[in-house]
Amino acid sequence: MTRHFPDDAAVARLGFGLIDRSLPKAEWTHAGHFAAALWLLRHEPEAVVRRRMPPMIRAYNEATGVANTDDGGYHETITLASIAAARAFLEARASLPLHEVVDALMASRLGRPDWLLAFWSKDRLFSVEARRSWIEPDLAVFDPAQAA
């Protein structure tokens, strides 16, 4: 299994880097997005993470020169679905160190950038509506526990 982070301190550094917008843009990868979500979920209830993470991502994007527009930057549906799936994944592995949870998640189907296309068609997921707000999937019911 690929190791994305050597220890929990490295995951925390990424999380704090998102919060204070000091994270190098090159580290804001698919694994980085999930690591930040898992780190936040390890410390706060899902409802708080769902409220805090969107503005954090928008602010981070702006700080790194990425515009939040109708076709780029922050994406509401992807973010909220990913938080829910990450929570379910974390709950099933609550006793593991966080860096091991990140590695296991990235080795699962959630580690594939296209995992959401099992639930949303490409046109629906990448629509302006889905980018701006949560939209229900059109291919299959989204069950975070099943997705994880």
Q: For 24-80, what is each residue's pLDDT tens digit?
A: 999 999 999 999 999 999 999 999 999 999 999 999 999 999 999 999 999 999 999
Q: Is residue 1, in this structure, part of any structural domain at all?
A: no
Instruction: Quote the CA–CA distance of 12 and 32 in Å, as a whole number.
Output: 11
Q: Is residue 83, in this structure, part of any structural domain at all?
A: yes
Instruction: Tell me if 32 sits within 8 A of 80, measured CB to CB.
Output: no
Q: Is residue 3, in this structure, part of any structural domain at all?
A: no
* pLDDT tens digits for range 72-128: 999 999 999 999 999 999 999 999 999 999 999 999 999 999 999 999 999 999 999
Instruction: Please measure the distance between the N-terminal and C-terminal CA atoms of the chain and give it in whole angstroms.
Output: 17
Domain total for the chain?
1
With 90 as the cut, is the pLDDT of residue 19 above it?
Answer: yes
Q: Is residue 73, in this structure, part of any structural domain at all?
A: yes
Residue 69 has φ and ψ, to the nearest 5°, of: -125, -175
With 90 as the cut, is the pLDDT of residue 1 above it?
Answer: no
Whether the full predicted model's pTM is greater than 0.75, yes or no, is yes
Instruction: Quote the CA–CA distance of 79 and 66 in Å, as a whole number.
Output: 16
Q: Is residue 89, in this structure, part of any structural domain at all?
A: yes
Q: What was the pLDDT predicted at 13?
A: 98
E-strand ranges in 52-138 read none
Instruction: Tell me if 2 sits within 8 A of 106, measured CB to CB.
Output: yes
Q: Tell me the residue range of the domain where 61 lies.
A: 8-147
Q: Is residue 26, in this structure, part of any structural domain at all?
A: yes
Q: Is residue 56, in this structure, part of any structural domain at all?
A: yes
Name the helix (H) or strand (E) containing 146. Answer: helix 144-147
